[in-house]
Amino acid sequence: MRTTPVIAIHGGAGTISAAALSAGAAQAYHEALHAILHAARASLLGGASALDAVCLAVEMLEDCPLFNAGHGAVFTHAGTHELDAAVMNGADLRAGAIACVSRIRRPVRAARAVMEDGAHVLLAGAGAEAFARERGLEMVEPSYFSTEARRAQLAQAQGAGRVVLDHDGAASAAAAPLDEGRKFGTVGAVALDLQGHLAAATSTGGMTNKRVGRVGDSPLIGAGTYADDKRAAVSCTGSGEMFIRAAAAYDVCARMRYAGQSLAQAAQAVVMQTLPSIGGSGGLIAIDRNGNVCMPFNTDGMYRGHARGTEAPQTAIHR
Ligand code: ASP
């Protein structure tokens, strides 16, 4: 029996600034999310694997400067970029990730190459870049990732002396419907394919003004990204340190497995109880093997959307 395919994507969570809430900006986000859902859904309906669909969606999100991943990534304290990404295939629990890279155009492709190579799960820094170059992946100058909006965000964060999540605290009021300095701008995708397989992918520039060498939850399997055909596929966005401490993505699957919770119960508990109890803010997107979609967040908003079968894709930013 063939499963109805489902794709869900996110472009970060954070604080909504009323001043930043221009209709035009919100529309740009909705249009970008719609275009990506349409493309990923078409590939799933055409028989693509969940893994292919999440990689396609995340590549498109990486290429879109509205989101803090790939082009448009945030700056470190030193004014550089350090990108992290991960993929996981629910059918066989294979996973690949890269961290702290600044020259790989599409970090999620490198994460997938690590997974397919199979020798390791996580490569970081210069070694990850050498691996990507060997695999023939497209390399760019680090300046490719820079945008003026992110530079302004760095100046603002440094002025305030804090490390901020991408969509938290606007760099410019016109830039985004969520407050840009107080938003988590990671991107991610989860999918269920026609064969009933699940996959998850996440990619990020991390946090504005982060210390050089800092690695967040996104590339850590079990923290920001996890997929298991028997439970769910999960991609997180938020204050990475707390997601790591909570093993957030895996905890959703563990609650389903050991406590018999539904996807909705498990995801709600992680996002609304466990994470806030240690000061964690953000959200996640998840799909279970029956195609249930859950996208909880404990911030004011999260750029998100999903598409099921041939139904019209739905996108949302606020509650
Ligand atoms: N979770 C990401 C990190 O900590 C940030 C984000 O979601 O925007 O690197």
Residue nearest to ligand 1 atom 8, measured at CA: 184
Each residue of 178-209: pLDDT tens digit? Answer: 555 555 668 999 999 999 999 999 999 888 88
Domains of the chain, residue spans: 6-318
Ligand 1 centre and the CA of 243: distance in Å?
A: 9
Residues 6+ apart with CB under 8 A from 252: 226, 231, 232, 234, 263, 266, 267, 270, 284, 286
Minimum-distance ligand 1 atom for the alpha carbon of 186: 8
Answer for the pair 200, 226: CB distance below 8 angstroms, yes or no. yes
Judged against a pLDDT cut of 70, whether residue 171 lies above it is answered with: no
Mean pLDDT, rounded, for 150-163: 79
> Which of 9, 84, 165, 212 maximizes ligand 1 atoms within 8 Å of its Cβ, making it the mutation to test the pocket?
165
- Residues with Cβ within 6 A of ligand 1? 12, 68, 165-166, 184-186, 204, 206-207, 216-218, 224, 237-238, 240, 282
Q: Which of 16-25, 197-206, 292-301 has the lowest mean pLDDT?
A: 16-25
Mean pLDDT, rounded, for 111-138: 98
Answer for the pair 207, 216: CB distance below 8 angstroms, yes or no. yes
List the catalytic residue out of 186, 202, 204, 208: 186
Residue-level pLDDT at 59: 96
**Is the alpha carbon torsion for 237, 295, 91, 49 positive or negative?**
negative
Tell me the average pLDDT of the chain.
90
Ligand 1 centre and the CA of 140: distance in Å?
A: 22
Residue-level pLDDT at 143: 84
Judged against a pLDDT cut of 70, whether residue 17 lies above it is answered with: no
Residue-level pLDDT at 23: 83
- In the residue annotation, 186 being an active-site residue is answered as yes
| Bridge pairing between strands 293-294 and 282-288 | antiparallel
Distance CA 127, CA 138 (A): 16
Ligand 1 centre and the CA of 45: distance in Å?
A: 31
Minimum-distance ligand 1 atom for the alpha carbon of 239: 4
Distance CA 224, CA 92 (A): 18
Ligand 1 centre and the CA of 239: distance in Å?
A: 6
Distance CA 303, CA 11 (A): 5
Answer for the pair 118, 101: CB distance below 8 angstroms, yes or no. no
For the domain made up of 6-318, give the CATH fold. Glutamine Phosphoribosylpyrophosphate, subunit 1, domain 1 (3.60.20)
Residue nearest to ligand 1 atom 4, measured at CA: 240
Residue with tokens 């204050």: 239
Judged against a pLDDT cut of 90, whether residue 21 lies above it is answered with: no
What's the pLDDT band for 149 if we cut at 50, 70, 90? Answer: confident
Mean pLDDT, rounded, for 35-53: 98
Each residue of 241-292: pLDDT tens digit? Answer: 999 999 999 999 999 999 999 999 999 999 999 999 999 999 999 999 999 9
Minimum-distance ligand 1 atom for the alpha carbon of 183: 8
Ligand 1 centre and the CA of 315: distance in Å?
A: 21
Residue nearest to ligand 1 atom 5, measured at CA: 206
SS3 content of the chain, % helix, strand, coil (to 5): 35, 30, 35
Q: Which of 13-22, 51-60, 101-110 has the lowest mean pLDDT?
A: 13-22
